[in-house]
A and B are shown apart, each in its own frame.
Chain A
Amino acid sequence: MASITLDKITKVYPNDVTAVNGVSLDIRDGEFMILLGPSGCGKSTTLRMIAGLEAISSGDMLIGGRRVNDVDPADRDIAIVFQNYALYPHMTVAKNLAFGLKLRHVPASEIETRINRVAALLGIEPLLGRKPSQLSGGQRQRVALGRALVREPQAFLLDEPLSNLDATLRSSMRTELIKLHHTLGTTIVHVTHDQVEAMTMGERICIMKDGDIVQVGEPMEVYRNPANTFVASFLATPPMNLLPGRIESVGAGALVVAMDGVALPVPTAFQAAYASHSGKPVIVGLRPEDFHLAAGDAARTAPIDLVTITTEVLGPEVILVANLASGAGPEIHARMPRDFRAKIGQPLTLHFDLAEIQLFDPETTRVLPRPAHP
């Protein structure tokens, strides 16, 4: 097991495209770290640089405290699971698992013990004699995982390993990976563009965009305190509603967030933090689950008048798509209980939980710092 440290890692491709731009990240020993971002954000390149499959243009890469910039992938003692599994097509499952051990001159008896142990762990014993072409996608996925496990490396690198599986299998593999990490305690770096994987699996999430790290933190911390509008709109479906607004003073130090036809009073706990932005435009971030049908404590909730555009009945919940009553601004998504129904064009009043409001600077898109939840 080992920690992995990225110190101002940059990757510039020969065609002058900068894929990763001076990224610094500390992955702790035994941590389950998620690299999350849209395609092209540099997360896979970062993972491949950790593996040694991609040369590092500048910066330092440390695995277990050892600088590995110029160390061959073979000597980094890490294992990688590829998105398309990359099994050796001409070898049986058993030989696929044994290959890395054989190259490292592990004694045959030891190889057999380890293969049997991993095969039992993943439930692939009946497949050991088969070739990859005779396996289903889920089985190949397990073999690819087994090939990594059997090596007992210092760290596992997973490059979107679940993205080729169907939804049910993906969900069960998620649970299995979490269980595996719990059993083995080995450092895992998992690259994904799927925010559900990120939220459910990671001990910490590192969100990347355009070759930069945007935010690193525990899933709920990132979810509740997004660093900017990108993170706010990337995590969760439907994402945080982002609406144009303005902070206005209403005398005696009281502030409101004014949107078209709506004024949300700023909770007292946040007023000091937002005071300096008084009179300036902001982007108002409202999570869909913070809209409620009933008014709560008057100090905590504020009514918002909406006009229904449509409802999406998902089963466990209903997503209400609506406009502000004034008709201005982008669509608002709100999570409603499963029995909620509304006709198209029907006016509604929902109550927003003010303690959950997030405000962003429209120019920098960065969040305006405020105290944690009151």
Chain B
Amino acid sequence: MNQSKTMEAADRRFGWFMSAPSLALLLAVILFPVFWALFTSVHDYTLIAPNFDTFTGAENYISAIQDPAFRHSLGLTAFFVAAVVLFEFLLGFIVALMLNSVERFKPIYYGILLCPLLMNPVIVGLIWRMFLHPSLGIVNYLLTVVGFEPVNWLGSTQMAIWTIIMVDIWHQVSFMIVLLLAGLSAMPKEPYEAARVDGARVYQSFFYITLPLMMPVIIVTLLIRMIFAVKTYDLIYIMTRGGPGVATDLVSYSIYRTAFVSLNVGEASAMSAILLGFILLLTVYLYRYMRSLT
């Protein structure tokens, strides 16, 4: 009894000893920056005066929330996330349903679909910036060939956010397809046959069987995609720098500008903390939901 207790303690000590290096690394690269940012967010810390001399409490948070530009960014990001997640889901689900009934060449379709997903967002941004160049881009060239007016894809305040949304869909829709397809191919076949004999038409099978059975996969996919979409930064940096004006100034890019253009690291940290709050909320919900499934 006594001996087994000491052995257990020794085991535990050895466990901590073995995981110490990786724990230290995690602490250094993840927890430290987070705490540093939280600490900065309650100080008047700028890159002109990089010190923690002035404790400001919630001031940075209040000015961030009262800043119309930041509020615009939050609203725009919400719109962007809703749009990309919705369109990617609809498109992804349709393609996944079609691919699910495909018998031949499945690996080839998979390969083609995965290509965009494997690309770095910076490269995606660069490619599309070239494609969408108002006078030299191939997209406008093709449009004029078939008789349409050229479109100012990234230069128009009306168009730019939709262009970013379209490029993001091109880049990320495969993620939805792959996850939804995995869900679909794991579906049992028998209930469909039972439903056919029970009198269900194709659309009824879809609404009464596919959708309810797919719901866990759909919700998890949507949540994961939302968490990533909220953080979209690279595409904006490469394609528009938040412009024209603030037409594509998503919140991640807005934070970057506050920190490294306006040099106000304190307020940028407060903004990051607010964004972190939103993402944490989504993550907690995702985590809870996934736990409720098992």
B191 close to A89 (CB less than 8 A): yes
Residue in A53, A73, A80, A84 whose Cβ sees the most chain B Cβ within 10 Å: A73
Q: Give the interface size class of chain B.
A: 10 to 19
The reply on B200 being an interface residue by CB < 8 A is: yes
Q: A89-B188, A103-B204 are in contact. Are A73 and B209 (CB under 8 A)?
A: no
Number of interface residues of A (CB under 8 A): 25
CA gap between A89 and B186 in the complex, in Å = 14
B197 close to A80 (CB less than 8 A): yes
B193 close to A100 (CB less than 8 A): no
CA gap between A95 and B129 in the complex, in Å = 53
Cβ–Cβ < 8 Å partners of B213 in chain A: 89-90
Q: Which of A53, A84, A89, A90 contacts B197 (CB 8 A)?
A: A53
The reply on A87 being an interface residue by CB < 8 A is: yes
Q: Which of B168-204 contact A (CB under 8 A)?
A: 188, 190-191, 193-201, 204
B198 close to A86 (CB less than 8 A): no
Q: With CB as the reference atom, state the residue of chain A lying closest to B201.
A: A74
CA gap between A182 and B188 in the complex, in Å = 34
A86 close to B200 (CB less than 8 A): no
Q: Which of B194, B201, B204, B212 contacts A82 (CB 8 A)?
A: B194
0/1 per residue, B94-136, Cβ < 8 Å to A?
0000000000000000000000000000000000000000000
CA gap between A75 and B201 in the complex, in Å = 10
The reply on B52 being an interface residue by CB < 8 A is: no
The reply on B208 being an interface residue by CB < 8 A is: yes
CA gap between A35 and B22 in the complex, in Å = 64
B212 close to A53 (CB less than 8 A): no
Cβ–Cβ < 8 Å partners of B212 in chain A: 90
A51 close to B197 (CB less than 8 A): yes
B200 close to A74 (CB less than 8 A): yes
A147 close to B190 (CB less than 8 A): no
The reply on A193 being an interface residue by CB < 8 A is: no
Q: A90-B213, A103-B204 are in contact. Are A82 and B198 (CB under 8 A)?
A: no
Q: A88-B209, A90-B213 are in contact. Are A100 and B199 (CB under 8 A)?
A: yes
The reply on A79 being an interface residue by CB < 8 A is: yes
Cβ–Cβ < 8 Å partners of B208 in chain A: 88, 99
In the assembled complex, how far is the CB of residue A68 from the closest CB belonging to chain B, in whole angstroms? 13
A82 close to B188 (CB less than 8 A): no
Cβ–Cβ < 8 Å partners of A87 in chain B: 191, 194
CA gap between A316 and B209 in the complex, in Å = 50
The reply on A78 being an interface residue by CB < 8 A is: yes
Q: With CB as the reference atom, state the residue of chain A lying closest to B193.
A: A53
In the assembled complex, how far is the CB of residue A147 from the closest CB belonging to chain B, in whole angstroms? 7
Residue in A76, A78, A79, A89 whose Cβ sees the most chain B Cβ within 10 Å: A89
The reply on A151 being an interface residue by CB < 8 A is: yes
A88 close to B191 (CB less than 8 A): yes
CA gap between A99 and B201 in the complex, in Å = 13
In the assembled complex, how far is the CB of residue A130 from the closest CB belonging to chain B, in whole angstroms? 17
B195 close to A88 (CB less than 8 A): yes
In the assembled complex, how far is the CB of residue A87 from the closest CB belonging to chain B, in whole angstroms? 7
B199 close to A86 (CB less than 8 A): no
A99 close to B195 (CB less than 8 A): yes
The reply on A104 being an interface residue by CB < 8 A is: yes
Q: Which of B191, B201, B204 contacts A86 (CB 8 A)?
A: B191
Q: Which of A65-108 contact B (CB under 8 A)?
A: 72-76, 78-80, 82, 84-90, 99-100, 103-104
B196 close to A82 (CB less than 8 A): no
0/1 per residue, A134-147, Cβ < 8 Å to B?
00000000000001
Q: Which of B193-240 contact A (CB under 8 A)?
A: 193-201, 204, 208-209, 212-213
- Residues on A facing B (Cβ under 8 Å): 51-53, 72-76, 78-80, 82, 84-90, 99-100, 103-104, 147, 151
Complex A-B: 27 CB contacts under 8 Å: A52-B196, A53-B193, A53-B196, A53-B197, A73-B196, A74-B196, A74-B197, A76-B197, A78-B197, A79-B197, A79-B198, A80-B193, A80-B194, A80-B197, A82-B194, A86-B191, A87-B191, A88-B208, A90-B212, A90-B213, A99-B200, A99-B208, A100-B198, A103-B199, A103-B200, A147-B194, A151-B198
Other A-B contacts than A88-B209, A89-B213, A147-B198, 15 sampled, CB-CB below 8 A, are A74-B201, A79-B198, A80-B194, A85-B190, A86-B188, A86-B193, A87-B194, A88-B208, A90-B212, A99-B198, A99-B200, A99-B208, A100-B197, A100-B199, A103-B204
- Residues on B facing A (Cβ under 8 Å): 188, 190-191, 193-201, 204, 208-209, 212-213
